[in-house]
Amino acid sequence: MDIIQLLPDNIANQIAAGEVIQRPASAVKELLENAVDAGATEIKLIVQDAGKALIQVVDNGKGMSFTDARLCFERHATSKIKQIEDLFNIKTMGFRGEALASVAAVAQVELKSRRKEDELGTYLEVENSEVKLHEPCAAPLGTSISMKNLFFNIPARRNFLKSNAAEMRHIVDEFIHVAMAFPALSFSLTSNGQEMFHLDSGSLKQRVVQILGNNLNSKLVNVSDHTDYLNIEGFVGKPEIARKTRGDQYFFVNNRFIKSPYLNHAVTNAFDQLLPKESFPLYVLFIELDPSEVDINVHPTKQEIKFEDEKIIYAFVQAAIKHALAQFSVAPTLDFTLNADIQNLNALTQPFSEDKQSDAQSSNLFKTFTQKNQAHFIDSSKEKKELQDWQNFFEPSVRKEENSFPEFPKDWSAAPDILTPSAVPVEHLFSEEKSEKIIPENAQYLQLHKTYILVSSDQGLCIVHQQIAHERILYEKYSQMSHEKHAAIQQLLFPSELELAPADAFLLEDLSTELKKIGYLIEKSSTNKFTILGVPVDVTDGNEMHIIELLLEQFKHFSSDIKFSKREKIVRCLARQQAIKSGKVLSQEEMQNLVEQLFSCKIFSISPTGDIPTYVLFKEDYIDRLFGMK
């Protein structure tokens, strides 16, 4: 018997939907892009239960006819591609013709649409890829499409969705990507009956400020560079607003949001020596070039694209940002004003006699500037005599055998007399007696390069990295607090008011329960405003707002190959954020307390990430051999 058969349309559409519709935010992206392609000037997004119950997009675009409204739910049905050449000249947003078919395969869909020239519109109900109702109706100009009960027919997919707050953050991100790309259109986002965004049409700068915050209005540098190959428009943030994580960074190619680590590197290089270490610039950049020079069908979500010549794009982006920073006096410049001390130099105060003139004209330096072909000329007499022994400089110096030094190991962890976490037996690391034997009671501490703490031990020389060590201390402290039922909370006499962007507000609301276990008591006061009522007892008064804002920024961009719980992510972010940084001068008492707290930890040898040692111990025998004593 034949065993190969064609799949039914509803099953084929569900398989395709797995690629296109991964979560509610995926449907939001497709529906918003369709509304933009329809020529709408006003687009409304309405969601309920983070898109699980309802996703509705209402636009005032050109609408659809009775037949088009039915055909748009078929697979590979599109108005944007008529021949194969059109695939390499895509100027619209969605174009594959699978979005609405995929939506109809995993949700209950209602569509109302009317064109300007029609008296009546069209009403359509589709469920599980099957048309339930198709009839004329009264409808306003444009299209309204409602997507209800996402994954109602695929319970397993629905169970894999995250919490409402997490899914809502993804929806907000997709909304921002589309709204940022089209500032001339007005957008609104309503969640559970509460309006989160109301973006009026305006300029690009107005849209950026509306979304990212009014405090950026005076801290943006305009980028504008037009060439025959491409155009670059947008804004970069001044170095003073750079963040410790990759926060507000947006790249658009032909108004399509993309992710490109390669182009991000170009922006970072343009800010070379302008940003503090481990800081990332803010930018919103639009690249416009011929669609034939870019392939946008590399990735299903079309957020990863491929350029025909990436190196040219890299060079243009870097040059455009450098030019903008220099033009607006952000980059450092040379000061050509005359220094008064120059007037006192002998070259200016003493006369230039004839003897000095003749000496200057006879010098080789003078000849290289006045005679032709002298720039690379070397005199074979005097210069040759002075440089004849230059090769001796590179010859190794000869030492007596009895005073020769042993070579330093290329791999420190492999040296038998240098103890790092990888060189110490596991049972030795966790022994309770070790913390008493490593550092003697009356030891003297020395800070090196404002980063390392040097202290003698019974076994040799111990070098502690102050930032990594403090991060380990805080990590264990916050971990213990997070597992206790009631953390010590210090009530604030004057509660702090914190206003956040909508995406950050959802995130903080989602994390508030876990934060309370660590000692942060935060309540929501209005739409995007929160009141900080209490903090842990060791938090400096007045610093709580900065801690929460930085925590949210780090949490959003927490990167790890391992899936951590929300509690673990918060603990790691807080430990990393509040640890003593390299470059801070410590007193003897501070160094002693830090080292003692480190060796009192349950696991004191490695950082919370598990890949960096907190200290290195040089054995006395090894130090002796370095000086040829043994």
pLDDT in tens, 9-35: 777 777 776 667 888 998 999 899 999
Residue whose tokens read 């990212």: 212
Higher confidence at residue 614 or residue 396?
614
3-state secondary structure of 152: coil
Helix, strand, coil content of the chain in percent (nearest 5): 40, 20, 40
Higher confidence at residue 622 or residue 137?
137
Q: How confident is the model at residue 308 (pLDDT cuts 50, 70, 90)?
A: confident
Average pLDDT, the chain: 80
- Phi, psi at residue 283, to the nearest 5°? -155, 150
One-letter identity of residue 230: L
Element (H, E) at 163: none
One-letter identity of residue 178: V
Q: Where are the alpha helices (DSSP H) in 142-258?
A: 155-159, 164-181, 204-212
Q: Tens digit of pLDDT for each residue in 573-617? A: 888 888 898 888 999 999 999 999 998 898 888 988 888 899 988
Q: Which residues contact 322 (CB under 8 A, 6 or more apart)?
A: 270, 331
For the chain, the domains span 9-199, 204-327, 417-630
d(C-alpha 244, C-alpha 551), whole Å? 10
pLDDT at 133: 93
Most confident of 94-108, 314-328, 413-427, 502-516: 314-328
Tell me if 519 sits within 8 A of 537, measured CB to CB. Answer: yes
Q: How confident is the model at residue 562 (pLDDT cuts 50, 70, 90)?
A: low
Q: Which residues contact 107 (CB under 8 A, 6 or more apart)?
A: 27, 147, 148, 149, 150, 151, 152
Count, in order, helices (H) and strands (E) of the chain: 21, 23
Top CATH class of 417-630 equals alpha beta
Q: How confident is the model at residue 125 (pLDDT cuts 50, 70, 90)?
A: very high
Please give the average per-residue pLDDT across 320-343, as a whole number. Answer: 68
pLDDT at 628: 81
For residue 194, is pLDDT > 80?
yes
pLDDT at 609: 82
pLDDT at 432: 40
3-state secondary structure of 329: coil
Helices 164-181, 204-212: inter-axial angle, 10-degree rounding: 170
Among 10-19, 500-509, 570-579, 620-629, the range scoring the smallest mean pLDDT is: 10-19
Higher confidence at residue 315 or residue 1?
315
Higher confidence at residue 547 or residue 115?
115
For residue 256, is pLDDT > 60?
yes
Higher confidence at residue 239 or residue 384?
239
Most confident of 46-60, 400-414, 477-491, 540-554: 46-60
Q: Tens digit of pLDDT for each residue in 405-426? A: 444 454 544 555 555 554 444 3
Residue whose tokens read 């050509």: 336
Element (H, E) at 123: strand 121-127
Q: How confident is the model at residue 393 (pLDDT cuts 50, 70, 90)?
A: low
Please give the average per-residue pLDDT across 177-206, as a whole number. Answer: 92
One-letter identity of residue 503: A
pLDDT at 205: 92
pLDDT at 248: 83
d(C-alpha 599, C-alpha 601), whole Å? 5
pTM of the predicted model, to two decimals? 0.69
Higher confidence at residue 430 or residue 466?
466
Please give the average per-residue pLDDT across 100-106, as a whole number. Answer: 85
Please give the average per-residue pLDDT across 143-165, as a whole number. Answer: 86
Tell me if 417 sits within 8 A of 617, measured CB to CB. Answer: no
Among 308-312, 320-324, 335-339, the range scoring the smallest mean pLDDT is: 335-339
pLDDT at 54: 94
pLDDT at 374: 54
pLDDT at 121: 93
Q: How confident is the model at residue 428 (pLDDT cuts 50, 70, 90)?
A: very low
Q: Is the CATH code 3.40.50.10860 the one for domain 204-327?
A: no
Region class of 387: left (phi > 0), else alpha (psi between -120 and 50), else beta: alpha
- Phi, psi at residue 330, to the nearest 5°? -90, -40
pLDDT at 426: 39
CATH superfamily of domain region 9-199: Histidine kinase-like ATPase, C-terminal domain (3.30.565.10)
